[in-house]
Amino acid sequence: MVRKFPGRKTVVILAHALVGWALCAATIGISMQLVSLLGALIIHAIGAPIFFALVSWNYFTRFHLTSALKTAAIFVFTVIFLDFFLVALVIQRSLAMFASLLGTWIPFALIFGSTYLTGRWWEAMATQG
């Protein structure tokens, strides 16, 4: 039995969001070394919703501490926060990445959507049996 502690819910959901973000960061970082920038952005846009579907499936299966909507919002806002404060301001020292639909806004929307749909699917399966 897992002991509950104050802040457990926050730690669990943020840890999952961080894993998803790290997978996306690794994907963009590695693919930029292997293919063109456009190719890397396309790979990232394909990988991001897949990564977050897998991460959210793990979250909902093992913890399910928040609704699908709340989880999707927390995941995407965590990604936006890390992209803004760590990637844009610290690493790139530029906000130019936010001008790219394919580089940021489409993956953000896909992360939200895949997390939300995974959560809704899991909730539907849980009510069936």
Angle at 50 between CA 99 and CA 78, to 5 degrees: 55
Report which of 128, 116, 2, 102 is spatially closest to residue 60, judged by C-alpha positions. 116
40 pLDDT above the threshold of 60: yes
Q: Is residue 79 part of a domain?
A: yes
Q: Is residue 1 part of a domain?
A: no
> Under a CB-based contact definition with an 8 Å cutoff, are residues 96 and 49 in contact?
no
Report which of 15, 14, 72 is spatially closest to residue 48, judged by C-alpha positions. 72
CA distance 108 to 95: 16
How many domains does the chain fold into? 1
Report which of 57, 56, 61, 52 is spatially closest to residue 27, judged by C-alpha positions. 52
Domain span including residue 103? 9-124
> Under a CB-based contact definition with an 8 Å cutoff, are residues 115 and 72 in contact?
yes
Distance of CA 118 to the CA centre of its chain: 12
Contact residues for 20 (Cβ-Cβ < 8 A; gap 6+)? 48, 51, 52, 55, 56, 75, 79, 111
Summarize pLDDT for 74-119 with one digit per residue, the tens.
999 999 999 999 999 999 999 999 999 999 999 999 999 999 999 9
Higher-confidence residue of 3 and 89: namely: 89
Q: Is residue 63 part of a domain?
A: yes
- Residue 92: per-residue pLDDT: 95
Q: Is residue 2 part of a domain?
A: no
pTM of the model: 0.93
- Residue 126: per-residue pLDDT: 87
Q: Is residue 83 part of a domain?
A: yes
